[in-house]
Amino acid sequence: MANSNKPVPTDYCSIIYARAKVKQTSASAGSLNVVLAGSLAVPPHKMRLLCILLPLVGLISADPTVYFKEEFNDGDAWKDRPSEDARFYGISAKFEPFSNEDKTLVIQFTVKHEQNIDCGGGYVKLFDCSLDQTQMHGESPYLIMFGPDICGPGTKKVHAIFNYKGKNHLINKEVRCKDDVFSHLYTLIVKPDNTYQIKIDNEVVEKGELEKDWSFLPPKKIKDPDAKKPEDWDDRAKIDDPDDKKPEDWDKPEYIPDPDATKPEDWDDDMDGEWEPPQINNPEYKGEWKPKQIDNPAYKGAWVHPEIDNPEYTPDPKLYRYKEICKIGFDLWQVKSGTIFDNILITDDEEYARVHGEETWAALKDEEKKMKDKQEEEEDAKSKKDDDAKDEDEFEDDEDKDEDKKDEEETTPAPEDDEDHKHEEL
């Protein structure tokens, strides 16, 4: 609960997905929309989605108690699980427009790839009011894209993409995401001083300045196009010693005839040609001669191209700012479907977001692991039971075969004795 003496932070949009799976459905109208390429429209209540959309009037605030807590092992309760792999999925929601000017912007949500995803996105997008939610797709312009993306062993990263003046800019750093089957809390914090933080599980994994870690602006400095290295600039640190001379006995052939070789007795010069001894490595061969190196007395160091102020560079103290944010959505490609999103929060207070993460994700993470361990134990026990039953069946089959063989031997008449045959013939 918020301290009564402290203003409750603006909770722009708290969308709790009640551990809702990415749905393979579509809502055709209204503020809540789910879009899937090639799917038919269905009522929003089929999505089993709890969405709390809080309008803004000045600094109207939300009580933190509206946040939703969910049991970990709820998968069996959901019937609208994605039934197809290798599909695009989309879901979006609309809320009262706001600007983050002069305010901190915090985007936070949990992702759980319980299907042990091999390739698929887990990121969220923020949009302005121009987005047509019924037509949302991968090419729809967005303001911010944030969250994990996994595809094979080569792609396991956190996307943090900002749209600046109509162009999407990726972070210049590699931020690794979590790739296990448990829920993880992802947080992006953008501050009015043009700094940022990326958190995973409420721990900072990356931070810095927007201008340095994204290529929003041209570089402050550029190489002087009029500057050229002087022709007499000597950047050789070492040179050949002019006084060093090659020894007269240096040049020896690399290979010489084998002095111990003798012409075979059956060698016929007329038939075989002139005999030549085989070649062997010359023990006196010294290789290519090179003069010794000495310090270059004329060395001036490496020439550095002088830089000048970039006339194209103009600082922007409002890099962080978006004038209008009013829609949030997931637009995802998943080779293996089944990702769970939860505890989606947009606010202006990072401490509020941290506490919310502790009350939601952190409160359940240990239970998740316990449930996973229990599930694996049950699966192992079932597998062992099945193997034992299979072995028992095979043992019984072998016993039946032995019984059949024994019965067959007992019913087969014994061969007549040769003496009896001879007696009968007489």
Binding residues for an alpha-D-glucoside: 123, 125, 142, 149, 331
The pTM of this model reads 0.65
pLDDT at residue 412, rounded to an integer: 62
pLDDT at residue 394, rounded to an integer: 74
- Judged by DSSP in three states, 76 sits in helix
d(CA 121, CA 117): 9
pLDDT digits (tens, 9 = 90+) for 270-289: 888 999 999 999 999 999 99
Pick the more confident residue, 334 or 82: 334
Split at pLDDT 50, 70, 90, the class of 17 is very low
pLDDT at residue 125, rounded to an integer: 95
Structural domains of the chain, ranges and CATH numbers in brackets: 13-212+320-377 (2.60.120.200)
Q: What is the DSSP string of 365-402?
A: HHHHHHHHHHHHHHHHHHHHHHHHHHHHHHHHHHHHHH
d(CA 263, CA 93): 95
Does 2 have pLDDT greater than 60? no
Does 79 have pLDDT greater than 50? no
pLDDT digits (tens, 9 = 90+) for 398-425: 767 777 777 776 666 665 555 554 444 4
Tokens of 239: 């040179």
H or E stretch covering 347: strand 340-347
Q: What is the DSSP string of 250-267?
A: ----SEEE-TT----TT-
pLDDT at residue 385, rounded to an integer: 79
- DSSP code at position 62: -
Does 14 have pLDDT greater than 60? no
How open is the CA angle 134-135-137, to the nearest 5 degrees? Answer: 125
Does 226 have pLDDT greater than 70? yes
d(CA 111, CA 361): 10
d(CA 325, CA 403): 80
pLDDT digits (tens, 9 = 90+) for 335-356: 888 888 888 999 999 999 999 9
Main-chain dihedrals φ then ψ at residue 77, nearest 5 degrees: -80, -10
- Distance, CA of 79 to chain centre: 29
Contacts 24+ apart (CB under 8 A), 258-262: none
Binding residues: 123, 125, 142, 149, 331
